Structure 1
Amino acid sequence: MPTILVIDDNPAVATALEVLFSLHDIETLHADSPDAGLELLARVPVDLVVQDMNFHADTTSGDEGVALFGRIHARHPDLPVVLLTAWTHLESAVGLIKAGASDYLAKPWDDAKLMATVGNLLELSASRRELGRRRAREDRERQALERDHELCGMVWADPASGRLLSLAVQVARSELPVLVTGPNGAGKEKIAAIVHANSAVRTGPFVALNCGALPAELIEAELFGAEAGAYTGANRAREGRFEAADGGTLFLDEIGNLPLAGQVKLLRVLETGRFERLGSSRERQVRVRVVSATNADLPALIAAGRFREDLYYRLNAVELKLPALAERPDDILPLARHFLPAGKRLGPAAEQALLRHPWPGNVRELRNAVQRAALLSPGSVVEAAALGLPGAPRTSAATEPDPAQIEAALARHDGVLAQAAADLGLSRQALYRRMDKLGMRRG
């Protein structure tokens, strides 16, 4: 059962609120002074506070309420506080909303409106507690992951990245081939390096080949090597990537671009560990852990006759699916800060612009945007305009916020409309009207 603390010197107000809250299965505690309320908060768990703005009969300024809220907020910054105010205290209440209060209601209050506000805040409070527990658990898991495994400098904070890394270090211990899938620029080679660094062959070489960056006629020579004269321009014998990776890991990026002839030879190496250089009949033996990656739809390539099905299943003993950056939003700001040069930092508006952008180019696009913005920013603070991203923050307070800006403000304040309105420079009623005009739900 949730608990609300009412801090009001008027016993009639406390009784009325206790009766109202009891009808909704809410326990009510009462304190008749700021000091008594703070003492209760220090020893009893409370989910929400409803406080008056004045506590003496001869006081009408609202200053006591302002001081009380300041003390509550300093000691319990996440505790929702609803202000009960006379119209003469409206300006003070609006100021407290900007300082972090959850909402304000005028006396005499409307029971339905009060319960709607209280219900919303209690639900948010419960969500915050659950979020806090989940984040604490994720922090413990993250610390264990970073303590017990080599993550190759991976910058991450999103739970989706944590789940992927947990799986990557788990499968690294086996000798099975691994297929890393995900969009371009998402960081597939980093995942391959982490698999290698936590494998039984971690002391061996890590060799990478981008199968999409070479002409088809040269890929086989790159993979398996070539004897002198094996093809035009081959003036001397050269070893291939398999030989170079012997005793370690070979990372084959954009594996979907490998020609069919190369696929046949790759399949044989995966099955036997044996191959011949181009232009040679001498068989060579290697022990190589293969990690491949692709952003292509390999089953579609199989259906089109461009990729061997038996090779696909041989490569895909374990699949690691790397989400797009937009699907792991908690990684965005840590990565952006990582890409900034020393002495530079992101301004608040720049951080919000980064969080709003969909990042179709993933981590690569983020890195380029941040480094370019840092170059264009003469001072130490990188502002939103320097990022050159669509949906930049409003430059004028008179401009009405668009849906994205409203959603961002609501997200920053856990859905509390009064705090989101203050963030946007609007009154609560103006935000209601704007949301209604845009067809947005209030909660």
Structure 2
Amino acid sequence: MPTVLIIDDNAAVAVALDVLFSLHDIEALRAASPDAGLAMLEQHSVDLVIQDMNFTADTTSGEEGTALFKAIRERHPDLPVILLTAWTHLNAAVDLIKAGAADYLAKPWDDHKLIATVNNLIELGQAKRALQQRVQGELRQRRELERGHDLRGMVFQDPATERVIHLACQVARADVPVLISGPNGTGKERIAEIIQANSSVRNGPFVVLNCGAIPSELIEAELFGADAGAYTGASKAREGKFEAADGGTLFLDEIGNLPLAGQMKLLRVLETGRFERLGSNRERQVKVRVVSATNADLQAMIRAGTFREDLFYRLNVIELRLPPLAARPMDILPLAMNFLGEGKQLHADAQAALLAHQWPGNVRELKNVMMRAGLLASGDVIKVADLGLPAASNGIGGFGGGAAVDDNIREPDRDAISLALSRAGGVVAQAAAELGLSRQALYRRMERLGIVRP
């Protein structure tokens, strides 16, 4: 059951509120003075405070209420506070709203509006606390992950990326093949490095082969090596990637580009650890952890007959799916700042433009954009124009023009505000949400336009 603290020296007011809240399954605590109220906040878990503005019989300035509000805000900055005020104290209440008070209610109050406001603020506070707990939990898990594992300097903040990294560290201890799937430029090689760095062969070599960058007729020689004369131009014997990776990890990028003949040999190595160099009959034995990566649909390639099904299942003992950058937006700004380097800052509009862009080239595209912006920007603050993003990616409301985004964009007029307040039954929080404004911003407009809540 939610709990509301009522701080009011008028017993009749406190009792009336207590009875009203009890009818709506809300527990009420009562305090007759600011000091008693502050003491109760230290002793009880409270979801919301309703406080009067005056506590001395001959005082009508609202100074006591202002001092109480400031004391509550200092000790409990996230606790919502509703101000009870007479119309003569409206200006003081509005000033406190600007300072962070949740709402104000004029005496005598409307029971329906009060309950609606209280329920809205309690639900908002509960949701905020749940979010804070989740964020703190994620931060704690990230710190534990960073303390307990070598993450190879990977920059991340999005929970989706953290899940992939956590699984990578978990499977690193098992000596089984791992397949990393995801679009080009998402950081699959960095995930492979993390697997190597946290495995039992962390001190062994980490050898990389991009299967898509080698001509199909040379891919077998690259993987397994070749004796002299094995093919035109092979004047001397050469070591293949499997031999180079013996006692360590071999990362095969773009595994879908491996020709069928090479796939058959790779399957045998994975099963037995044995292979022959191209042009040789002598069998060699290696112990290599194989991590592969692809941006292709290997299942579709199996159906098309261009990828062996048995090799797929051998490689795919564990699959890590790395999402595209657009699907992990919390990584964008930390990565951007990392690529930008020290001494440079991102303008708020540039940050918004980066978040609005879809990043078809993923992390690789972001890195190129930030390196270019850092070189070409005229000052230390990177603006939207410095990013060189397509106009459609410059965000909503004209980020491309470099204008600051503030409360005045799509300014609601007097009629729109009055209509929103009417539809919300006078509950400012609901009206503000409908208008796309904060409560404080809506109160400023109401004061400027002389609008009184219905």
Please say whether Structure 1 and Structure 2 have the same fold, judged by a TM-score greater than 0.5: yes
In structure 2, distance between residues paired with 1:424 and 1:243: 67
Q: Helix, strand or coil for the counterpart of 2:131?
A: helix
Amino acid at match of 1:326: A
Q: Deviations over 1:28-75 (max 9, x none)?
A: 122333333222222222111123344445555545444433322222
Higher gyration radius (CA): 2
Counterpart in the other structure of 1:271: 271
> Does the aligned pair in 2 maintain the 1:103–1:418 contact within 8 Å?
no
TM alignment of 1:271-290, pairs within 5 A: 271-290=271-290
Question: Structure 1 residues 401, 149: CA separation in 2 closer, same or farther (over 3 Å shift)?
Answer: farther
> Does the aligned pair in 1 maintain the 2:156–2:335 contact within 8 Å?
yes
In structure 2, distance between residues paired with 1:287 and 1:73: 63
Counterpart in the other structure of 2:394: 390
TM-score (norm 2): 0.82
Counterpart in the other structure of 1:82: 82
Counterpart in the other structure of 2:215: 215
Deviation at 1:249, TM superposition (A): 0.3
Counterpart in the other structure of 1:436: none
> Does the aligned pair in 2 maintain the 1:418–1:428 contact within 8 Å?
no
Identity among equivalent pairs (%)? 67
Question: Structure 1 residues 417, 36: CA separation in 2 closer, same or farther (over 3 Å shift)?
Answer: farther
TM alignment of 1:224-243, pairs within 5 A: 224-243=224-243
In structure 1, distance between residues paired with 2:79 and 2:33: 18
Q: Helix, strand or coil for the counterpart of 1:247?
A: coil
Give the one of 410, 433, 449 matched to 1:400: 410
Counterpart in the other structure of 1:7: 7
Q: Deviations over 1:225-275 (max 9, x none)?
A: 233443344343322211111110000111112222221121111112222
Question: Structure 1 residues 255, 336: CA separation in 2 closer, same or farther (over 3 Å shift)?
Answer: same
| Matching of residue 292 in structure 1 with residue 308 in structure 2 | no
TM alignment of 1:109-128, pairs within 5 A: 109-128=109-128
> Does the aligned pair in 1 maintain the 2:250–2:289 contact within 8 Å?
yes
Counterpart in the other structure of 1:441: none
In structure 1, distance between residues paired with 2:352 and 2:13: 42
Deviation at 1:342, TM superposition (A): 1.0
Counterpart in the other structure of 1:363: 363
Single out whichever of 345-354 and 244-253 deviates more from structure 2: 345-354
> Does the aligned pair in 1 maintain the 2:255–2:292 contact within 8 Å?
yes
In structure 2, distance between residues paired with 1:60 and 1:290: 78
Counterpart in the other structure of 2:181: 181
> Does the aligned pair in 2 maintain the 1:401–1:424 contact within 8 Å?
no
Q: Helix, strand or coil for the counterpart of 1:29?
A: strand
In structure 1, distance between residues paired with 2:430 and 2:351: 21
In structure 1, distance between residues paired with 2:108 and 2:249: 73
In structure 1, distance between residues paired with 2:71 and 2:11: 23
Q: Deviations over 1:329-350 (max 9, x none)?
A: 3333332332231122334444
In structure 2, distance between residues paired with 1:335 and 1:107: 52
Single out whichever of 281-290 and 231-240 deviates more from structure 2: 231-240
TM alignment of 1:23-422, pairs within 5 A: 23-56=23-56, 59-87=59-87, 89-90=89-90, 92-384=92-384, 386-387=386-387, 388=389, 389-391=393-395, 393=399, 395=404, 397-400=407-410, 421-422=437-438
Q: Deviations over 1:116-148 (max 9, x none)?
A: 222122122223333333334333333332222
Deviation at 1:189, TM superposition (A): 0.9
Q: Helix, strand or coil for the counterpart of 1:216?
A: coil
Amino acid at match of 1:156: F
Q: Deviations over 1:386-428 (max 9, x none)?
A: 44442155646533189xxxxxxxxxxxx98759724895559
Single out whichever of 317-326 and 374-383 deviates more from structure 2: 374-383
In structure 1, distance between residues paired with 2:237 and 2:100: 71
Deviation at 1:310, TM superposition (A): 0.5
Deviation at 1:209, TM superposition (A): 1.3
- What are the ranges of 5 or more consecutive residues in structure 2 without an aligned counterpart? 413-428, 447-454
Question: Structure 1 residues 78, 336: CA separation in 2 closer, same or farther (over 3 Å shift)?
Answer: farther
Amino acid at match of 1:225: G
> Does the aligned pair in 2 maintain the 1:47–1:122 contact within 8 Å?
yes
Question: Structure 1 residues 316, 427: CA separation in 2 closer, same or farther (over 3 Å shift)?
Answer: same
> Does the aligned pair in 2 maintain the 1:121–1:416 contact within 8 Å?
no
Deviation at 1:205, TM superposition (A): 0.3
In structure 2, distance between residues paired with 1:358 and 1:92: 46
Q: Deviations over 1:82-133 (max 9, x none)?
A: 2334455555545444433333344433322222222122122223333333
In structure 2, distance between residues paired with 1:361 and 1:54: 61
In structure 2, distance between residues paired with 1:386 and 1:41: 50
Single out whichever of 211-220 and 371-380 deviates more from structure 2: 371-380
Q: Deviations over 1:313-334 (max 9, x none)?
A: 0000111122233333333333
Question: Structure 1 residues 205, 51: CA separation in 2 closer, same or farther (over 3 Å shift)?
Answer: same
In structure 2, distance between residues paired with 1:264 and 1:426: 68
Question: Structure 1 residues 213, 77: CA separation in 2 closer, same or farther (over 3 Å shift)?
Answer: farther
- What are the ranges of 5 or more consecutive residues in structure 1 without an aligned counterpart? 403-414, 431-443
Count of residue pairs the alignment pairs up: 418
